[in-house]
Chain A
């Protein structure tokens, strides 16, 4: 694993492939590699869909070895959804196959001329890029059918659906699983749009003729891997809960904790949870001849996934993940497992982030476009995206765009990315993650659920947050609904210092439950000194008969020259001079 493949799609004579040694990126993999490359090579102010942005795809350091559960793939870029750095992660076969070919990363860069539809093929003989217009407009499932016929069932494919081609901010990148279904998605942050902006529709990777990566010290590796796999099998979560019920085992527990956002984050518990829980879903899968325990790539020990068949017993989709079931289920008031599975299938096919889509449909429901609980309407709305209608494009642009388009106040996003399935008001630790990660609302950036709810790796009572997380929580409105802070100013996030800023006695038990704003005490040179204020007020016609200017007014009123202008009254000779000074003309001064 020492090669990095760069594909410059903007090169003068068509896509240029360069193979280079990992060099300064050697020794890191996965999220570390993708984020390091993005931080080092992508100018932060560039347009996410422009030539300067790069899409970085990397397997983990141990991918391609015999190590258990080593097959996750990381994809990074500047996000068109949040405008910041983004890392999105997927299962499926791609990571193992890439690593076996010795590839540490693929970097797509530049911007193509025209509207190509590139198919990249990678095998042990090299990398080829071909413009294949026949693949244009295909959904992921149809695309895989075509590629299966061409390359057989052994390849792993990384691809985008129509949403990625349309460069929609909620577009995902699909990876095929062991059955060649495009069901494992790097969902978050619109990474699919960036792949679309490079004109790349699919990357087909074939590791035929390559061996499993050999460790330097086989004995030590084997021993360590044995401990690792035994640990995974023995732990009640990775050896019991996850294989039996999948990640959706969380629906019930998060619901019981009151952190299961329902009807666009209006309440924290969903009445229909038992119909969509992991327990119900696993039983249904087994009954219909699907699978409740299934791995998404070779060498997965945990096997948290499954296969979901429709009522006739035909394959519909993989076992929907917890976040998907929540997003399309509780958050939209939908308690029909088949409808949720259908939405999951559509998201996979069109190439969309299920979290963002569930949140967007819920905001559309709040806007009155359809009713909460309207499963049919939700399915139609997602189908619109595949058709590329104006409404579909709006839905595919995410919850923030939908809310703004309909003038909705309650939009559950951080940095324009939809909050996932954990309400930060009931589970405050995850609120800190949402608020502090540069990636916006992203539960993978600090999974506080483990300690707040699951008591795995420690325990912190979720509603008894201290310090910063208090500001995120607000008591519900009288109608029981919650309001979001539009903006939490930094000074509100500080705890009040007893004895300095609070009136009355300051024994710890009498402290305010909610942080009160700090008053700024220190004199700053650009503020009017209190001793000068009276003098200035006398000459201030604007404030006659009104409240005196406060520190805040002064701070807001900008530069010293502007403030001077304000306090001397407009229209005076000095202010004319000052205006001239401000706009830098010599004319006004002479």
Chain B
């Protein structure tokens, strides 16, 4: 199945900003992270359709997954 993966801040270096990636049917967030070429722990904040998720959470076709490294400010 296909999910949209968006990368932000330093995760973009040498990768992409936004891409539609193929992950195994009934896959997990961790599968999409691997498909995006990120190593474990690189992304610390993940949103699936604007809600926080963890690597072990499930994905469904058409989900939008946003991955962030540690960031702060304000």
Enumerate chain A interface residues (CB-CB to B < 8 A): 235-238, 240-242, 244-250, 252-253, 256-258, 268-269, 274, 277-279, 304, 322-323, 421-422, 426, 443, 447, 449-450, 453-456, 459, 461-463
Across chains A and B, which 10 residue pairs bring their CB atoms closest together, nearest first? A247-B73, A236-B70, A237-B72, A241-B71, A258-B50, A256-B66, A256-B47, A249-B71, A250-B73, A252-B8
- Chain B residues with CB under 8 A of A258: 50
Q: C-beta contact mask, B24-59 vs A, less than 8 Å → 1, else 0? A: 000000000000000000001101001110000000
CB atoms of B70 and A241 under 8 A apart: yes
Docked pose: A304 CA to B72 CA in angstroms: 10
- Chain B residues with CB under 8 A of A462: 52
Enumerate chain B interface residues (CB-CB to A < 8 A): 6, 8-10, 12, 17, 44-45, 47, 50-52, 66, 68-74
CB atoms of A247 and B74 under 8 A apart: yes
B72 interface neighbour in A456, A459, A461, Cβ under 8 Å:
A456
CB atoms of B45 and A253 under 8 A apart: yes
CB atoms of A463 and B9 under 8 A apart: no
Known: A236-B70, A240-B70; 12 extra A-B contacts, CB below 8 A, are A237-B72, A241-B10, A244-B10, A246-B73, A257-B50, A269-B50, A278-B73, A421-B74, A454-B71, A455-B45, A456-B70, A461-B52
A-B contact count (CB 8 A): 90
- Chain A residues with CB under 8 A of B17: 274
CB atoms of B74 and A242 under 8 A apart: no
Closest to A245 in B: B9
- Report the minimum CB–CB distance from B18 to chain A (whole Å): 9
Max chain B C-beta neighbours (<10 A), residue from A235, A279, A447, A461? A279
Docked pose: A253 CA to B70 CA in angstroms: 10
Docked pose: A462 CA to B47 CA in angstroms: 12
Max chain B C-beta neighbours (<10 A), residue from A249, A250, A449? A249
- Chain B residues with CB under 8 A of A238: 72
Docked pose: A269 CA to B51 CA in angstroms: 13
A242 interface neighbour in B47, B66, B72, Cβ under 8 Å:
B72
CB atoms of A323 and B74 under 8 A apart: yes
- Chain A residues with CB under 8 A of B52: 257, 459, 461-462
- Chain A residues with CB under 8 A of B66: 252-253, 256
- Report the minimum CB–CB distance from B45 to chain A (whole Å): 6
A-B contact pairs, 9 of them (CB 8 A): A235-B70, A240-B10, A247-B73, A247-B74, A248-B73, A253-B66, A257-B52, A258-B50, A323-B74
B70 interface neighbour in A278, A449, A454, Cβ under 8 Å:
A454
Docked pose: A257 CA to B74 CA in angstroms: 15
Docked pose: A443 CA to B70 CA in angstroms: 20
- Chain A residues with CB under 8 A of B72: 237-238, 241-242, 249-250, 450, 454, 456
B68 interface neighbour in A253, A269, A463, Cβ under 8 Å:
A253
Closest to A449 in B: B74
Docked pose: A494 CA to B20 CA in angstroms: 45
A253 interface neighbour in B12, B51, B71, Cβ under 8 Å:
B71
